[in-house]
């Protein structure tokens, strides 16, 4: 979607429109950077869990849809780095997860990285809340992967809510495919597994996630948005100053409700899209930040929503084979030879953490 104009300072966020606009750098807001929540679907679920574990001191909980097992593609841990491969990701972490090990192995990976100082102390996870979802008709990421993620998190002291069926949910649709679920937007069939990977299932997944993370007493969603969706340059938050080096798209987005723009104390939620769902890839009428439904809930509940964007990198762009990411996935199998992708120093995790600090004025 084309930019609607350039903003100078946070005061201009007051304009009551919902369309995106340029904002560079990120606005400084009264958010609590030490109590953040995250969520994601598919590769975004992996990224959300990675970020939660790496920064458990500042993240209070996560929503993981169709993915998320920490270290799933890792074969070896060497000090503060890991070795992971796409082949292992395909064999262990997707639908045919027959080779997937027990939850204890992945808890062990986290504990090794904790001892190496690559992630925050795992004690920070205790009492955190995590929503996990696996669709009954999901043919991309198997239920075993999501259930193992729930077991591993439970071992680390997390309170998990695992949803595997929409049956019994009032008004819910058919069995869900590999997609983020909405009440009435996206693909018409709940079991679909095609672009934009949003399915109309008569189930508000954004609501379900946010109520696990923030409690059931959220205010109803806004019928019309009061805030602004701002674009920003992601390169400013990447070590070395080049977003493409971290397989990040040029622009990220942040939704700022009107009250948050005028100085109200607000919370921060980070939503990670899945593969083939970045702003770079999806058309103007099917954007992740629009279809997911977070913004209407954020608008009435003092929540700023950050939408970082991964980048699709093809084989013709001059990068080595290890850096190819043709579907714009988040890094959960170590592409780009980033051996620290699971920890605080990972290129993508450190960039998103820098975005949090910028929003909080740190």
Reply yes or no on whether 60 is catalytic: no
Q: Which tokens sit at 337?
A: 């030879």
Q: Coil, strand or helix: which one is 75?
A: strand
C-alpha–C-alpha distance, residues 165 and 70, integer Å = 23
Active-site entry in 39, 42, 43, 56: 42
- What residues does 76 pair with on adjacent strands? 83
Q: CB under 8 Å to 5, separation ≥6 — which residues?
A: 21, 22
- DSSP character for 187? B
CA dist list (Å): 100 to 108, 119, 324 = 14, 23, 25
267's CB contacts (< 8 A; 6+ apart) are 31, 32, 35, 36, 37, 214, 301, 302, 303, 304
Q: Is 138 a catalytic residue?
A: yes
How far apart are alpha carbons 265 and 200 in whole angstroms? Answer: 33
Between β-strands 266-272 and 74-78, what pairing exists: parallel, antiparallel or unpaired? Answer: unpaired
- Of these residues, 138, 192, 290, 299, which one is catalytic? 138
Q: Which of 52, 55, 92, 178 is catalytic?
A: 178
Separation between Cα atoms, residue 61 and residue 35, nearest integer Å:
9
Is 42 marked active-site?
yes
Backbone phi, psi, residue 21, to 5°: -150, 160
Is 74 exposed, middle or buried (CB count within 10 Å of its CB: 0-12, 13-18, 19+)?
buried
Residues taking part in catalysis: 42, 138, 178
């Amino acid at each position: 979607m084309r930019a609607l104009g350039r903003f100078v300072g946070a005061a201009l966020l007051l304009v009551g429109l919902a369309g995106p606009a340029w904002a560079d750098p990120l606005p400084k807001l009264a958010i609590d950077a030490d109590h953040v929540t995250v969520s994601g679907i598919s590769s975004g679920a992996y990224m959300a869990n990675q970020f939660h574990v790496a920064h458990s001191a500042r993240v209070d909980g996560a929503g993981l849809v169709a993915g998320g097992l920490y270290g799933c593609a890792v074969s070896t841990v060497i000090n503060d780095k890991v070795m992971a491969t796409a082949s292992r990701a395909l064999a262990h972490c997707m639908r045919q997860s027959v080779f997937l090990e027990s939850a204890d192995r992945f808890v062990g990976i986290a504990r090794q990285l904790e001892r190496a100082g690559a992630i925050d102390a795992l004690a920070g996870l205790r009492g955190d809340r995590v929503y996990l979802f696996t669709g009954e008709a999901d043919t991309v990421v198997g239920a075993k992967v999501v259930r193992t993620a729930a077991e591993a998190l439970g071992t680390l002291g997390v309170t998990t809510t695992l949803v595997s069926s929409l049956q019994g949910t009032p008004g819910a649709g058919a069995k869900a495919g590999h997609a983020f679920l909405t009440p009435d937007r996206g693909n018409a069939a709940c079991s679909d597994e095609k672009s934009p990977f949003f399915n109309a299932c008569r189930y508000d997944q954004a609501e379900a996630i946010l109520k696990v993370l923030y409690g059931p007493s959220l205010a109803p969603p806004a019928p019309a948005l009061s805030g602004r969706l701002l674009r920003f340059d992601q390169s400013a938050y990447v070590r070395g100053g080049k977003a493409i080096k971290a397989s990040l798209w040029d622009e990220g987005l942040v939704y700022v409700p009107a009250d948050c723009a005028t100085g109200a104390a607000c919370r921060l939620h980070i939503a990670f899209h899945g593969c083939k769902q970045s702003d770079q890839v999806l058309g103007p009428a099917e954007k992740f930040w629009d279809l997911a439904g977070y913004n209407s809930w954020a608008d009435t509940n003092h929540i700023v929503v950050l939408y970082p964007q991964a980048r699709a990198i093809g084989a013709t762009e001059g990068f080595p084979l290890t850096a190819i990411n043709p579907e714009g996935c988040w890094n959960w199998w170590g592409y780009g030879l980033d051996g620290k992708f699971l920890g605080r120093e990972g290129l993508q995790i450190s960039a998103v953490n820098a975005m949090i600090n910028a929003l909080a004025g740190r």
